[in-house]
């Protein structure tokens, strides 16, 4: 920023320096304003974390306190104690298992499918791709009732398979991986072919290693999507032992409508993995999202 | 795309490189066994056919039956489920159209806010300044929390008696006893407001990527010609963002029409049934009361509305003859 450099030389109050200083002050004012707004913006999340460390009366005190007094782990102890009908630890474990297997399934099937769609010519390719992309526009509600019946017939109701498998046919994933594969240069496979590699070897040894960042991004997005999914798990998982965190939280809310310390502790437990992922990998997540938008 | 360059390894720089698809003809010469591509596609297609394609058709079939999950007989009734939805004295009519109206109200208020506020945020962040990435992350952060978390959280913050929102409103001299979750129109303000807070960062990030793709020479040239900031915005930014705008408009519209978790958790569809959205009604009819024929018909009617709205968006953002 040139304005910052200029200001340094014109600090003395030379009237001709005004425009430059104004710019700098403007930038500074903008940052301060943004910081204040950002703090207000994120304060609900901060208050959620703060409240989870409060005692029961402190959580409902007026005026609301921003520092727990006293600091207490009571809510977490109550939630994580064994033998409740709201087994938060179990929900956490279920969520983790489901989200990990789901995202692995999405990445493997989408990458495999995207490869021929990006880098081979065959009859029917255009139709297959067009049909897959067209379903991006199908609102998920259409699938809810028939998939419930399918899942029920398969005996998957009230089991984690119901939230791992049916949602794994990710049209977005295929589209996303295909865009990436298309961007790779042709010579890579040419060289491998001369060395006698078959298609599968080209895929696993040449293409996939290059596609690691794209696969990581897709895995993350699939993980987040599965971890946070709400409607489907609420209706297909109905006993506490098989539920995941989102439907679990909703039963926690109806069972403990006024125990806000417990509810916030539950919400924090549900948020820790995604917030941690976000803090460490926010560049990947944000870019995955922006790329899906711009390329879409 | 500028954002792509920041990705680790792999991706070659796009700028100036010829479109790789231009070389696809050479790929055609490279022969493989006819089955090879299908072997790659098979795992995905199995899932796709079983849980996407077949259900789309199966759902239409269900909608033509009186399909109670808990009863053995599922008699074919033709279009009766649909006719009922359009017959004012049928048992589904009031509930369904009440829910459609709720979805309409929510969409009408949330979509414009979710198109404009994130654009303002993106414009503020378009220029590089210290801490930009941090702010970008802060505004995006609520989006990674699921609807279950934000629903439970805001139910607490909006509590009539002990909620933060009423308390701070009282402090600044506003009414401090608003029943945010149990009265309208306050419940609508709450649902729309929370949704905007929750998803604003998502749209802002997409806008930001779009803004970075607009060549800065255009702005320089406009400044040379003495164009004001507003003129630059109208004549360069908006046309340059058109594809991004239409994408954001479409995804926001679809998300708003599919609203469910917020009202399920924050207002329980209440007061009465006012904030019970179409998805809520469909899920309840089909998966709670097991009237799946009716629910399937409702989902197809909702889908038709959504398709019509999507076409409207496409038409509004269509490429006009004199673009830039």
User: E strands along chain A, which residues?
Assistant: none
Count CA atoms closer than 13 A to A88's CA, side-chain side.
21
Q: Say which of A35, A112, A231 has its CB closest to residue B261.
A: A231
B102 inside 8 A of chain A by CB: no
Do the chains contact at B52 and A135, CB–CB below 8 Å? yes
| Burial of A167 (C-beta count, 10 Å sphere; 0-12/13-18/19+) | buried
Exposure letters A1-24 (e unless 16+ CB within 10 A, then b): eeeeeebeebeeeeeebeebbebb
Residue A244: φ, ψ to 5°: -105, 180
Task: Considering only the beta carbons, identify the residue of B37, B43, B54 that sits closest to A120.
Answer: B37
Cβ atoms of A76 and A61 within 8 Å: the answer is no
Reported as type and span, the H/E element at residue B46 is helix B36-48
CA dihedral B268, B273, B276, B282 (to 10 degrees): 110
Tell me the chain B residues in contact with residue A247 when contact means C-beta distances shorter than 8 Å. 148
For chain B, say whether A156 makes contact (Cβ under 8 Å).
Answer: no
Report whether pLDDT(A51) > 90. Answer: yes
Round to whole Å and give the CA distance between A217 and A292.
11
Window 247-286 of A, Cβ < 8 Å to B: 247, 249-250, 252-253, 260, 263-264, 266-267, 270-271, 274-275, 277-278, 282-283, 285-286
Residue B245 CA neighbour count, 13 Å, CB half: 19
Query: Would you say residue B8 has pLDDT above 90?
Result: no
Alpha-carbon distance of B109 to B226, in angstroms, equals 37
Q: Is A183 on the interface with B (CB under 8 A)?
A: yes
Percent of chain A with pLDDT over 70: 91
Mark B200-227 as b/e (b = at least 16 C-beta within 10 Å): bbbbbbbbbbbbeebeeebbeebeeeeb
Q: How much is the mean pLDDT over chain A?
A: 87
d(CA B58, CA B224): 61
Cα A211 from Cα A204, distance rounded (Å) = 10
Q: Which pLDDT band, with edges at 50, 70 and 90, does B200 fall under?
A: very high
Helix and strand totals (H; E) in chain B: 17, 0
* Span B20-44, pLDDT tens digits: 444 444 444 456 788 899 999 999 9
DSSP tag of B237: I
List the single residue in B56, B141, B248 with the smallest CB-CB distance to A142. Answer: B56
Does A108 contact B43 at a Cβ distance shorter than 8 Å? yes
Residue A10 phi/psi, 5-degree rounding, is: -120, 25
What is the DSSP code (8-state) at residue B320? -
Contact B294, B59 (CB under 8 A): no
pLDDT at A294 (0 to 100): 59
Picking from A75-79, B7-11, B111-115, B297-301, which range would have the lowest pLDDT averaged per residue?
B7-11
What's the gap in Å between the CA of B200 and the closest CA on chain A?
A: 11
Q: So what's the pLDDT on residue A98?
A: 97
Interval A167-225: pLDDT, tens: 999 999 999 999 999 988 888 888 888 888 888 888 998 899 999 999 999 999 999 99
The count of other CB atoms within 10 Å of the CB of residue B255 is: 17
What's the ipTM? 0.86
- In percent, the amount of chain B with pLDDT more than 90 equals 64
For the record, the structure tokens of B239 come out as 């046309």
Structure tokens belonging to residue A262: 């417990």
Instruction: DSSP letter for B233, please.
Output: I
Better pLDDT: A70 or B323: A70
pLDDT at B286: 93
- Cα(B252)–Cα(B261) distance, integer angstroms: 16
pLDDT of residue B77: 87
The continuous run of DSSP H or E covering B230 comes out as helix B229-232
Tokens for A264, please give them. Answer: 């916030």
Residue A294 CB neighbours (<10 A) = 20
Task: List pLDDT tens digits, range B69-95.
Answer: 788 888 888 899 999 999 998 888 999
Contact A268, A245 (CB under 8 A): no
Decide: residue B315, CB within 10 A, 0-12 exposed, 13-18 middle, 19+ buried.
Answer: exposed
Note the pLDDT tens digit of each residue in B223-247. 999 888 899 999 999 999 998 999 8
Least confident of A110-114, A244-248, B128-132: B128-132
Q: Who among B38, B205, B300 is closest to A290 (CB)?
A: B205
Distances (CA, A) of B208 to A250, B92, B323: 34, 44, 21
Cβ within 8 Å of residue A112, ≥6 positions away: A203, B40, B41, B43, B44
The chain A residue lying nearest B58, using CA atoms, is A146
Is the Cβ–Cβ distance between A160 and A94 less than 8 Å? yes
Is residue A236 within 8 Å of residue A165, measured between CB atoms? no
Of the candidates B132, B77, B292, the residue with the CA atom closest to the CA atom of residue A146:
B292
Task: Round to whole Å and give the CA distance between B137 and A21.
Answer: 29
The pTM of the full predicted model, rounded to 2 decimals, is 0.86
């Amino acid at each position: 920023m040139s304005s910052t450099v200029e200001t340094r030389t014109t600090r003395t109050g030379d009237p001709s320096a005004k425009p430059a200083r104004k710019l700098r002050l403007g930038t500074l004012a903008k940052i301060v304003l943004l910081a204040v707004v950002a703090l207000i913006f994120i304060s609900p999340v901060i208050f959620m974390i703060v409240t989870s460390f409060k005692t029961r009366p402190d959580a409902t005190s007026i005026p609301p306190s921003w520092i727990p007094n006293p600091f207490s782990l009571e809510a977490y102890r109550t939630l994580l104690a064994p033998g409740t009908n709201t087994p938060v630890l179990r929900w956490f474990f279920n969520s983790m298992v489901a989200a990990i297997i789901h995202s692995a399934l999405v990445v493997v099937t989408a990458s495999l499918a995207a490869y021929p769609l990006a880098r081979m010519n065959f009859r029917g390719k255009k139709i297959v791709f067009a049909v897959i992309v067209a379903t991006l526009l199908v609102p998920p509600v259409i699938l809810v009732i028939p998939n419930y019946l399918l899942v029920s017939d398969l005996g998957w109701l009230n089991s984690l398979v119901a939230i791992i498998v049916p949602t794994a046919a990710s049209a977005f994933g295929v589209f996303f991986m295909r865009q990436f594969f298309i961007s790779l240069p042709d010579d890579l496979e040419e060289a491998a072919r001369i060395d006698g590699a078959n298609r599968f070897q080209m895929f696993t040894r040449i293409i996939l290693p290059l596609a690691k960042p794209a696969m990581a991004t897709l895995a993350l997005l699939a993980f987040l999507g599965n971890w946070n999914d709400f409607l489907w798990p609420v209706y297909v998982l109905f006993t506490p032992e098989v539920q995941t965190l989102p439907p679990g939280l909703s039963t926690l809310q109806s069972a403990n409508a006024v125990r806000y310390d417990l509810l916030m502790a539950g919400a924090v437990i549900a948020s820790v993995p995604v917030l941690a992922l976000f803090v460490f990998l926010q560049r990947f997540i944000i870019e995955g999202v922006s790329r899906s938008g711009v390329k879409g | 795309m500028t954002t792509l360059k920041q990705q680790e390894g792999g991706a070659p720089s796009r700028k100036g490189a010829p479109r790789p698809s231009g070389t696809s003809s050479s790929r055609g010469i490279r022969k493989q066994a006819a089955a090879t591509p299908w072997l790659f596609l098979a795992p995905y297609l199995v899932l796709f056919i079983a849980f996407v394609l077949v259900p789309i058709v199966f759902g239409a079939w269900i909608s033509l039956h009186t399909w109670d999950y808990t009863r053995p007989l599922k008699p074919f009734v033709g279009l009766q489920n649909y006719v009922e939805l359009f017959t004012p004295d049928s048992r589904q009519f009031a509930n369904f159209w009440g829910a459609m109206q709720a979805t309409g109200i929510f969409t009408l208020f949330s979509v414009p806010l979710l198109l404009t506020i994130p654009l303002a945020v993106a414009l503020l962040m378009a220029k590089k300044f210290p801490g930009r990435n941090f702010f970008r992350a802060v505004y995006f952060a609520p989006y990674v929390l699921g609807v279950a978390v934000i629903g439970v959280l805001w139910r607490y913050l909006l509590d009539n008696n002990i909620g933060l929102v009423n308390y701070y409103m009282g402090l600044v001299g506003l009414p401090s006893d608003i029943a945010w979750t149990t009265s309208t129109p306050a419940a609508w303000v709450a649902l729309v407001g929370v949704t905007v807070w929750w998803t604003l960062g998502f749209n802002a990030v997409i806008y930001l990527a779009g803004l970075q793709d607009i060549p800065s020479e255009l702005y320089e040239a406009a400044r040379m010609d003495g164009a004001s900031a507003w003129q630059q915005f109208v004549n360069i930014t908006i046309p340059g963002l058109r594809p991004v705008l239409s994408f954001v408009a479409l995804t926001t519209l679809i998300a708003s029409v599919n609203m469910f978790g917020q009202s399920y958790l924050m207002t329980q569809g209440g007061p009465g049934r006012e904030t019970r959205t179409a998805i809520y009604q469909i899920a309840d009819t089909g998966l709670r009361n097991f009237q799946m024929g009716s629910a399937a018909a409702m989902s197809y009617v909702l889908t038709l509305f959504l398709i019509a709205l999507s076409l409207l968006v496409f038409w509004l953002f269509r490429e006009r003859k004199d673009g830039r």
